Chains A and B, each alone.
Chain A
Amino acid sequence: MADRMSLIVFSGTVDKLMAASILTTGAAAMGMEVELFLTTWGLEAFRKDAYKTNTRVSADFQDYASPMMEAMQAKHVPSWMENLLGAREIGDVKVFACSMTMELFGIKHEDLEPIVDEVTGVATFVERAKESAITLFI
C-alpha cells in the first residue's frame, strides 16, 4: 500500500473543486503523495484561465452560488487553483488529464493549465489507485 491519495476529479463546479484542492493540500502537508485524474467536467475546469471565471456550483445547491462566491471574495479565500499550486509547492502532487475526455472535447495538452503534468488513460490511473491508501471520486 502506497502512502498516496488518488482523486478522480469528475466535477467542474467550484464547490467540489474547492473540496478536492483542500483535500490535496491536507494530504500533501501530511507527507502523502497525491495524484489527481481529471476527467469530463473536471478536465474542462482545467482549461487555461477557465478557473478565473468559473462560478458554477453543484446544481442541487444552485441557490447558494452567488452568496458563496461573494463570501469567498469578501474573505479572500484562495481559489482552488491557488490551493493546488500551494499543495504542489510543499508536497508531491501530480495532475493527470484523461485522454478520452481530451479526445471527446477536442482539448490539447497546451490548452490546459500548466499544473497538468501529462495525459494518461484510465488504466494507468486505476493501476496506481489500486495501491493508494485513499481513493476518492469527486
Chain B
Amino acid sequence: MLDIGNIIIDKEIDARGSFCPGPLMELIRGMKALHVGGVLAVLSSDPGSSKDIPAWIQKAGHELIGVFPEQGYTRFVARKTH
C-alpha cells in the first residue's frame, strides 16, 4: 500500500515498458479484479496513456483520482465506483 496524500492505494500495477495499449489493458484487467470502492494505480511510460487512460476511466464511469508525473513515467490513480 502506498499513500498519496490521504488516498490509500489498494493495488499498484507496474506497466512501465509496456506499449500502447498495454498499460490501458493492465488498468482494465486490474479494475475488473478490484472490489468496488477500491483504488488502483497504474504506472505507465507510454505517452499514449496520458489521454487513453483518463478517457477509458471516464467512459467506464469510474473516478480518476489523479495523474501524477514521475521521472520517466506517470502514475494514474483511479477508484472503482461500480
Binding site for B on A (CB under 8 A): 22, 25-26, 29-31, 75-78, 83, 86, 89-90
A8 to B60: give the CA distance in the assembly, Å. 27
Binding site for A on B (CB under 8 A): 17, 19-22, 24-25, 28-29, 32, 52, 55-56, 59-60
Given contacts A29-B56, A30-B59, is CB(A78)–CB(B22) below 8 Å? yes
- A interface, by DSSP: helix, strand, loop or mixed? helix
Show 12 residue pairs from A and B whose CB-CB distance is below 8 angstroms, ordered by the A residue: A22-B20, A26-B21, A29-B21, A29-B52, A30-B56, A30-B59, A31-B59, A31-B60, A75-B19, A76-B17, A86-B25, A90-B32
Known A30-B55, A90-B29; 20 more pairs at CB < 8 Å: A22-B20, A22-B21, A25-B21, A25-B24, A25-B25, A29-B25, A29-B28, A30-B56, A30-B59, A31-B60, A75-B19, A76-B17, A77-B19, A78-B19, A78-B22, A83-B21, A86-B25, A89-B29, A90-B25, A90-B32
- CB atoms of A29 and B17 under 8 A apart: no
List, in ascending order, chain B residues with CB within 8 A of A25's CB. 21, 24-25
A87 to B34: give the CA distance in the assembly, Å. 19
- Report B22 CB to chain A, min CB distance, Å: 7
A76 to B19: give the CA distance in the assembly, Å. 9
A83 to B21: give the CA distance in the assembly, Å. 9
A90 to B22: give the CA distance in the assembly, Å. 12
A29 to B49: give the CA distance in the assembly, Å. 13
- Report A130 CB to chain B, min CB distance, Å: 25
A135 to B19: give the CA distance in the assembly, Å. 25
* Pick from A29, A75, A78: contact of B24, CB under 8 Å: A29
